[in-house]
Structure 1
Amino acid sequence: MNADVERTGRTPWSRSLPFRVVVTALVAALTILAATGWFLMDQSSRGILDGKKQSSLAEASVVLDGMQRDLRTLNLRTASINERLTQLARDAAYRGSVGNQYYVVVAGPVSDIGSAGLDYASVPEALRRAVLGSDGVYSTPTEIRFADARPAVPGLAIGSALSAPGGTRYPVYFLFTQQPEAETLAVVQRATLVAGLIVLVGVVATVYLIAVQVLRPIRAARLAAERLAAGHLDDRMAVRGTEDLAGLARSMNHMATELDRKITELEDLSRVQQQFVSDVSHELRTPLTTVRMAADVLHGQREEFDPLAARSSELLSAELDRFEELLTDLLEISRFDAGAAELNLDEVDLSQIAAEELEAQSRLAQRYGTPLQLDAPEPCLAEVDPRRIRRVLRNLITNAIEHGEGRPVSVHVRGDEAAVAVAVRDHGVGFSAAEAHQVFNRFWRADPARRRTVGGSGLGLSIALGDARLHNGWLNAWGRPGRGAQFRLTVPRKAGEGFVSSPWPAVPDDAEAAV
């Protein structure tokens, strides 16, 4: 359920590699196209407007020279300066209407004189001040407005001054329209935008197709790996071509073949091993029964023997008990290995089972001088196999007594809505944190030099772990050298159901205070 929630909660960026490739390519293409478009538009604007400015300055200089020559020949006794300026303005305006289109404004002695229909306020004040301030030709961008209903257009204002006889200066302004250049730039902008969109769509489509082509065999490899993991070892990938992707398919197929061969070998070896253990265990039953009968006869008459023979009969009986227990455990281990172990379920109270097992081990505890304590405040019902649960608790309690060094051994039983936990806590020799997982290994002993006093087979914890897993439960081990150990068995309330936590902590509450 958590995995499903995690999958549904992820974004398309984290779920899909083609999505990431396409988005990355789209961002990169947008960045490149934006930079390229800006550069092209900037260069185009600079080139067109600079060319317009140069031609306008040249045109204005020619007209100014002509007006200045004409004004120098003016005889103020026979002609009016205002009339001559008006005539010059009309002539220049007419010339601007048939060639490189521009408008003229002449600051006359009475008022501004210029092209018809022009709003003389189109001349920027900054340009008027510059022309009045000194000689020279000045230019600045402006917006050409009209006195009638015509819309304003972008333009370039060029100003200079005419010198009349007597030293009087009369400013002259040329307003060159830049409407054709603006329309040209608009066409360039539209063409650049359309070309960019076409390139962008083409890049995204191309990248998507490439990503799909590259990812198709990768997806096929993933599906093949999932099929192999599910046990379909005969599945193979289709090999097309001779390039790297075809090499991937061949490598996957070779891996599947080798994996199938290795697994088959291991399965055959496991079957042989399981059959060998089972056969040996069964075959030893008959001679063991005969030896057991003879040993029981000797053990029953040991009081009639001399001390050495009597002790030998006792040792023989004790070792036969261990041998029988070992055979039983080996048979159980072989059932786990073969997957033949089954549960006989029944709803029982684990608190009651724990109490009964503590009672059964009371004599052993008295022999070690170990107090036994049961902490089960309420009944804890669960659907389990009582025989296997008893066996698990018996192993845990006997181990706690043997390694508890005479200190108290407590059994805690707790339950919640989903699970029931039984924890066996001792305060004996314990084990290190690194050995917590090794305690469940077959025949493993923390201290090989330590003598086994209870007489176990060395398979008890391994079988207990198998019983816990068979119930879909947990068996956890905690220990610290000199602080004792705790083994916690957790099983679900309802057989076959799961749980997410145990009602009893894996680390005991008194861990820090343990000695």
Structure 2
Amino acid sequence: MTLLLVTAEHTWRRSLQVRVVTLTLVVSSLLVAVFAYVVAYRSSSILLERAKQSVTAQMEFGRGYTEEQLAVFGKPYEPNVQGTLQDIVFYLGGGDAQDPGSGLVVVQAEDVVELRPEKSRNVDMSVVDQVLGPDITSAVDGGGVATAIRSADLGAGQAKYLVMGTPVGTKFGHVELYYIEPLTTQDSAATQIRTTVLATGATLVLLLGLLAALVTRLVVRPVRVAARTAQRLSAGLLDQRMAVTGEDDLALLAASFNQMAANLQRQIVRLEDMSRLQRRFTSDVSHELRTPLTTVRMAADLIFAERDRFPADVSRTAEILQTELDRFESLLTDLLEISRYDAGFAMLDAEPTDLVPLVHRAVEPLRGLADRCGVELRVEVPADPVIADVDPRRVERILRNLVGNAVEHAEHRPVDVRLVSDGVAAAVAVRDRGVGLKPGEEKLVFNRFWRADPSRARQTGGTGLGLSISIEDARLHGGWLEAWGAPGQGAQFRLTLPVRAGDRLTGSPLRLVPDDADLPALTPPVQPRAIAQAPAEVPR
């Protein structure tokens, strides 16, 4: 039963045709049901009203006839009264021609004569008394005309009867005249009308459902074709097109879709060509600059080694040249790494590695930079080894980039580095309490050459490609590299890696949002004096 409900729910959500047909059937069924009820009710009311009119006319005639026949009698004890009453009932009841129970006429003479003759001896007089009932007899006895509908068995089976009674004026006393008319014909006609209306309505509902299915299919089928074609286009099959048939709106949709697909194909091919040229240009330039850079590096190293023999201004120039060459070489290295990722040539050399010493190796070279920037580096790692299948060179590069960026933006506040593992995934969080990130910048930080504040003075002199390379390294491991930040509350970067190579991550043992994220913004500290010597280049 549960599987059936799940399947029905899935079909309802996925199929527009099923929803339209179902709604059409439900709404049309409700309308037909209401229409059938109204028609049956009105038909029954009309048939009953006609029966009342017929019995009323008979009763008026019967009352006049009875008054005329009994007008000659002055006393109820005269010998011919009872015979006359029997003749009246016999005449008004239609004689012996009618079937038993098809209609009864009952005459009751007050006090002296109580005569309820019947057309058939099979009619039980006690049932006749129940049909008349005290409400009818009391109303007629009070001089009024009474009408009621009863269900009873008067010898012809259970049926409905229309009961009407009226008083008859005579010289010798009060006489009551009752008509008991069966409503079998009216009930049969009403049943036939209801059956006909329901059968017609059910047929109409089915036809409407079939029509809705056909019309919906005509509309939904091109949409489904368009959806499948769009899926093929998104999968890279850019030559897929829809078949254009006719000149209606659906044909216009197909033609417009094909035109859009052709434009997208031209644009995508153009962008791919541009991207391919860009990647090739980056790779070629990076390689071509290696040779002159090596020559310049040799000359710069020689000048830098002999800088003490030069005047002060030339010595300072040699130092600046050495620093900028370091930055240039780092930039070329990052560009080559990016080009390998763009070309799809990056390979993962994973091996079981203890992440605890790896974290220390990534942090320790940056302690000198942290001391010069007035930042305290705090490392929290487990006492036991944390073994994971990773490429230690790439993971160490990621951590150096994260810690270096945290130190640069820490605003002289502590930077925390935490390592946690749950046996399935290992996570390293780098938390700073500096300027933080504005809403939406947690995604932009991984873009190439993106900087949150271009006017801000840099301490590390990075290339702007470090986080872009880091997120590619994380993806190569099948892991995550995520960022959180808030203005005035700093930022936190979280690297999550699977412990076993090839496993799929479902969660991280560390929260992305730090525990102290809800604290109010910290007051900016006083800036220290400028550092005269330029710091060494931080690996990105």
Same fold (TM over 0.5): yes
Does 1:181 find its partner at 2:186?
Answer: yes
Higher RCO (C-alpha under 8 Å, 6+ residues apart)? 2
Indicate the residue corresponding to 1:142 in structure 2.
Answer: 150
User: In the aligned structure 2, how far is the partner of 1:280 from the partner of 1:382?
Assistant: 37
Identity %: 41
User: In the aligned structure 2, how far is the partner of 1:380 from the partner of 1:114?
Assistant: 110
Does 1:508 find its partner at 2:514?
Answer: yes
Which whole-Å deviations, capped at 9, do the CAs of 1:232-271 have from their partners, x for residues lacking one?
Answer: 1111112222111122211221121111111100000000
Indicate the residue corresponding to 1:223 in structure 2.
Answer: 228
Structure 1's 391 and 69: CA in aligned 2 closer, same or farther, altered over 3 A? Answer: same
| Matching of residues 120-199 of structure 1 within 5 Å | 120-121=128-129, 122-134=131-143, 137-146=145-154, 150-166=156-172, 168-199=173-204
User: In the aligned structure 2, how far is the partner of 1:475 from the partner of 1:455?
Assistant: 23
1:101 shift after superposition = 5.2
Aligned match for 2:267, one of 240, 262, 265: 262
User: In the aligned structure 1, how far is the partner of 2:451 from the partner of 2:116?
Assistant: 116
User: In the aligned structure 2, how far is the partner of 1:481 from the partner of 1:190?
Assistant: 75
1:292 shift after superposition = 0.9
Does 1:329 find its partner at 2:360?
Answer: no
Moved more, 391-400 or 280-289: 391-400
Does 1:41 find its partner at 2:40?
Answer: yes
Indicate the residue corresponding to 1:25 in structure 2.
Answer: 24
CA contact (8 A) 2:487 2:521 kept: no
Which whole-Å deviations, capped at 9, do the CAs of 1:40-93 have from their partners, x for residues lacking one?
Answer: 112211222211211221122223222221211347597432232123222323
User: In the aligned structure 1, how far is the partner of 2:362 from the partner of 2:74?
Assistant: 139
Indicate the residue corresponding to 1:3 in structure 2.
Answer: none
1:290 shift after superposition = 1.0
Alignment size in residue pairs: 505
Q: Considering only aligned residues, what root-mean-square deviation do their CA atoms show, in Å?
A: 2.4
1:20 shift after superposition = 1.4
CA contact (8 A) 1:475 1:489 kept: yes
User: In the aligned structure 2, how far is the partner of 1:162 from the partner of 1:8?
Assistant: 73
Q: 3-state DSSP class of the match of 1:114? A: coil
Aligned match for 2:209, one of 204, 222, 225: 204
CA contact (8 A) 1:96 1:103 kept: no
User: In the aligned structure 2, how far is the partner of 1:405 from the partner of 1:481?
Assistant: 13
Which whole-Å deviations, capped at 9, do the CAs of 1:324-350 have from their partners, x for residues lacking one?
Answer: 111111111222223332211112112
Aligned letter for 1:105?
Answer: V
Aligned match for 1:232, one of 212, 232, 237: 237
Runs of 4+ in structure 1 displaced over 6 angstroms? Answer: none
Moved more, 388-397 or 73-82: 73-82
Q: 3-state DSSP class of the match of 1:436? A: helix
Structure 1's 172 and 432: CA in aligned 2 closer, same or farther, altered over 3 A? Answer: closer
Moved more, 86-95 or 413-422: 86-95
Which whole-Å deviations, capped at 9, do the CAs of 1:112-171 have from their partners, x for residues lacking one?
Answer: 23113333312232221111111x54332233543x5x42322212222333333x1211
Indicate the residue corresponding to 1:463 in structure 2.
Answer: 469
CA contact (8 A) 1:144 1:175 kept: no
1:107 shift after superposition = 0.9
Structure 1's 181 and 401: CA in aligned 2 closer, same or farther, altered over 3 A? Answer: closer
The TM-score, its normalising length taken from structure 1, stands at 0.91
Structure 1's 302 and 37: CA in aligned 2 closer, same or farther, altered over 3 A? Answer: same
Does 1:485 find its partner at 2:491?
Answer: yes
Aligned letter for 1:412?
Answer: R
Q: 3-state DSSP class of the match of 2:197? A: helix
The TM-score, its normalising length taken from structure 2, stands at 0.87
Indicate the residue corresponding to 2:87 in structure 1.
Answer: 87
Structure 1's 402 and 43: CA in aligned 2 closer, same or farther, altered over 3 A? Answer: closer
1:353 shift after superposition = 0.7
CA contact (8 A) 1:354 1:393 kept: yes
Indicate the residue corresponding to 2:529 in structure 1.
Answer: none
| Matching of residues 97-112 of structure 1 within 5 Å | 97-98=97-98, 102-108=103-109, 109-112=112-115
User: In the aligned structure 2, how far is the partner of 1:153 from the partner of 1:426?
Assistant: 93
Indicate the residue corresponding to 1:55 in structure 2.
Answer: 54
1:103 shift after superposition = 1.1
